[in-house]
């Protein structure tokens, strides 16, 4: 057998072929890199339409922004309480590249509903959405009020002998409790008793009449009934009758009300952000549903002691704030 000399001589590869092989290898590496690299995060633009520059609205917006992806861009429009300005801003948003709209407050929500038809809208901080007909295929909302059933259950635990709850309201500004609310109250053996007022001057007489008939006074967010000046009068008149006052903000408890139930504005914003991210990810706008954030409760132990009320330890443990 003929021996083959060592080392073997290497065949010469033409230079054009070497260049072609190097180009093919570079293309293959580029394809592999793109296949394994993470996809870039799409940055969305959110238009925020705000009814007025007040603390609860600003807190809701802060909660919303803090819960959205860092890449999100925000453009804010402040109506400053002017509904017509709101419609102009909404028309401007319609012509922009906004992917979704956060409407904060009733005036902003109404303006968005009237002017925007093909951009998803999330309304928030609207006390009575049904009153403003905030229904459309592109509109969803985050609730700013609590289901009355939860509140009544806690009230019953604190006030086991509670039979009648009274409230004042101006029908031009605030709807009465719904028939469903009245039904839930009756199931717990509670009757809701109301008095209508049309002016602030009618409040004192209506309050005195109401306090003689009820076991608790429930405050509602009605600007005719409740002002900074009238709260002290409402509270002192109720105390004279040994009638506990139920509020809708922790500040009422800090000033002497027995209990308050509320939804934190920042929680509303965070709920809106969760909903916005779901819609931006491709989920349909859940227009038939209003999302409910966590409810909160404050109690005033000093007021309970003054009124001879014993708050059960289980209810105290559920409270977000005890004075």
Q: What is the 3-state secondary structure (H, E, C) of 13-66?
A: CCHHHHHHHHHHHHHHHHHHHHHHCCCCCCCCEEEEEECCCCHHHHHHHHHHHH
19 has pLDDT over 70: no
Look at residue 289 in the predicted model and tell me its pLDDT: 60
Distance, CA of 285 to CA of 68 (rounded, Å): 17
Look at residue 36 in the predicted model and tell me its pLDDT: 43
The CATH topology of domain 148-262+296-322 is Rossmann fold (3.40.50)
- Per-residue pLDDT of 251-291, as tens digits, reads 999 999 999 999 889 999 999 999 999 999 999 988 656 67
Q: Which two tokens stand for residue 130?
A: 């049904």
Would you say the C-alpha torsion 123, 127, 129, 134 has a positive or negative sign?
negative
Q: What is the mean pLDDT of the chain?
A: 87
Contacts of 157 (CB under 8 A, 6+ apart): 312, 314, 315
Look at residue 288 in the predicted model and tell me its pLDDT: 56
DSSP class per residue in 76-90: EEE-TT-HHHHHHHH
* Choice among 17-21, 282-286, 301-305, 312-316 with the minimum mean pLDDT: 17-21
Domain 45-144+265-291: assigned CATH number: 3.40.50.2300
Is residue 195 within 8 Å of 218, Cβ to Cβ? no
**What is the average pLDDT across 48-65?**
95
Look at residue 290 in the predicted model and tell me its pLDDT: 66
Is residue 178 within 8 Å of 150, Cβ to Cβ? no
Domain range summary for the chain, segments of one domain joined by +: 45-144+265-291, 148-262+296-322
50 has pLDDT over 70: yes
**What is the average pLDDT across 198-215?**
95
> C-alpha distances in angstroms, 9 versus 24, 45, 174?
27, 65, 98
Distance, CA of 320 to CA of 274 (rounded, Å): 23
Distance, CA of 14 to CA of 174 (rounded, Å): 89
Task: Let me know if the fold of 45-144+265-291 is the same as that of 148-262+296-322.
Answer: yes
Look at residue 143 in the predicted model and tell me its pLDDT: 85
- Per-residue pLDDT of 137-148, as tens digits, reads 999 999 887 778
**What is the average pLDDT across 113-130?**
92
Angle ∠(210,232,160) on CA atoms, nearest 5: 50
Residue 27's pLDDT band (cuts 50, 70, 90):
low
Q: Which has the closest alpha carbon to 261: 165, 151, 141? A: 151
- Per-residue pLDDT of 149-188, as tens digits, reads 889 999 999 999 999 999 999 999 888 888 888 999 999 9
Report the predicted TM-score, pTM, of the whole model to 2 decimal places.
0.74
């Amino acid at each position: 057998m003929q021996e083959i000399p060592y080392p073997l001589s290497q065949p010469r590869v033409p230079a054009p072929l070497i260049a072609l092989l190097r180009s093919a290898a570079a293309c293959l590496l580029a394809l592999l890199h793109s296949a394994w690299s993470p996809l870039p995060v799409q940055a969305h633009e959110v238009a925020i339409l705000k009814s007025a520059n007040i603390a609860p609205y600003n807190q809701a917006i802060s909660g919303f922004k803090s819960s959205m992806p860092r890449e999100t861009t925000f453009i804010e429009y402040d109506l400053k309480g002017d509904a017509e300005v709101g419609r102009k801003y909404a028309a401007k948003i319609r012509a922009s590249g906004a992917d979704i709209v956060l409407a904060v407050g009733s005036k902003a929500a109404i303006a968005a509903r009237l002017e925007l038809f093909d951009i998803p809208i999330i309304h928030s901080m609207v006390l009575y959405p049904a009153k403003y007909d905030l229904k459309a295929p592109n509109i969803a909302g985050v609730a700013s009020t609590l289901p009355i059933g939860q509140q009544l259950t806690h009230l019953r635990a604190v006030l086991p002998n509670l039979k009648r709850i009274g409230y004042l309201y101006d029908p031009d500004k605030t709807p009465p409790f719904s028939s469903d609310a009245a039904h839930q109250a009756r199931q717990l053996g509670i009757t809701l008793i109301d008095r209508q007022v049309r002016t602030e001057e009618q409040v004192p007489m209506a309050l005195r009449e109401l306090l003689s008939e009820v076991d608790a006074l429930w405050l509602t967010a009605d600007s005719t009934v409740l002002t900074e000046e009238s709260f002290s009068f409402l509270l002192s008149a109720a105390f004279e009758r040994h009638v506990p006052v139920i509020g809708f903000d922790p500040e009422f408890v800090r000033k002497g009300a027995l209990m308050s139930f509320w939804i934190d504005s920042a929680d509303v914003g965070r709920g809106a952000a969760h909903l916005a991210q779901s819609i931006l990810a491709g989920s349909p706008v859940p227009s038939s549903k209003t999302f409910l954030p966590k409810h909160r409760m404050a109690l005033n132990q000093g007021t309970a002691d003054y009124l001879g009320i014993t708050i059960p330890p289980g209810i105290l443990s559920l409270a977000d704030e005890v004075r």
